[in-house]
Every structure is written in structure tokens, then in C-alpha cells.
Amino acid sequence: MTHSSGTVPEPTADEVADQLAAVVGRLLRRLRSSSAESLLTPTQRSVLARLDDGGAATTADLARAEFVRPQSMRLTLGALEAQGLVERAPDPADGRKSVMSVTDAGRTTLARVRAAKRNWLAEAVAAELDGHERRTVAEAVALIERLVGS
């Protein structure tokens, strides 16, 4: 929408927030679908990545980090364990508990999932954006990183 003077009005913070949330949501769905062959649910992928990045963790710790109930996390971990992607060991701090960690097969699966996402996105950027547009997106990425505190 332009004003009668031909200038585009400055968007409000609410408008930018709505647009950004919508496009990020669509981007996340596209990224998830780019690695669908892994047969992992989004929650399973998230838990596997969390264990790979943060190291071994208890079911309760993972449930808190993923904002799910411990019962739900036990199901997720059970599915990952059945596929050989995570393994259980006694908690060194409390032998009554166990900790889960990612296996070599889990790391390989996670690397394939991440590569598929990265490849899809790189191909989309190369096919759809010229050099100026890629610079603009790179600048936007820096601003988004600032928004999320990374």
C-alpha cells in the first residue's frame, strides 16, 4: 500500500511480527519436508539434535527443554532407542536414574537430515535470488539473530 505521495508507509512492529512469524513457520515446514525421508518426527529430530549438541540428558531434563510431559518424552526416546539412534546409560550422578545419549547411528541420521535441509535451502537461494537479494537476506538473517539473542 502506498500513500498518495508515492511512499510506502513504515510497517508497525505488529505487522512485521505477524509477517515474520508466518514466513518463518512456512520456512520451517519446508525445511522439515526436505528431510522427510529420515522417518523421524519433528520432536524426534529436535530431541536427537538436543542430545547431539548438549550431550547426555535425563528424560526429565529433555521433557523440560522440549516443553512436553515426561510421559511424552519417554515415548519419543523409546522410538529413538528402538531405531538405535539413542542409548540409555546409568546417570553418573544418581545411579537410580538413566541418561540418554546419541549413538553413532543417531549422529549419522542427524547429519543426513541437516544436510538435506541445508541443501534444499541453498538450492532455493541459488535458484530464486540474485546477488543483491542474497545480500539482503544475509542482512535480514543478522537482524533476526539479534532478535532471538544469538
pLDDT at position 38 is 65
Contacts of 117 (CB under 8 A, 6+ apart): 31, 34, 35
30: how many CB neighbours lie within 10 A of its CB?
13
Look at residues 47, 56, 117, 113 and name the one whose alpha carbon lies nearest to residue 79: 47
Q: Does 84 score more than 80 pLDDT?
A: yes
Percent with pLDDT over 90 in the chain: 78
- pTM reported for the whole predicted model: 0.76
Query: Comparing C-alpha atoms, which of 100, 112, 104, 110 is closest to residue 76?
Result: 100
Closest CA to 86 of 129, 114, 47, 34: 47
Q: What length is written for the chain?
A: 150
Q: Using alpha carbons only, what angle is made at residue 112 by residues 110 and 117, rounded to the nearest 5 degrees?
A: 95
The answer to whether residue 94 scores a pLDDT higher than 90 is no
| pLDDT score recorded for residue 67 | 95
Query: What is the per-residue pLDDT for 150?
Result: 57
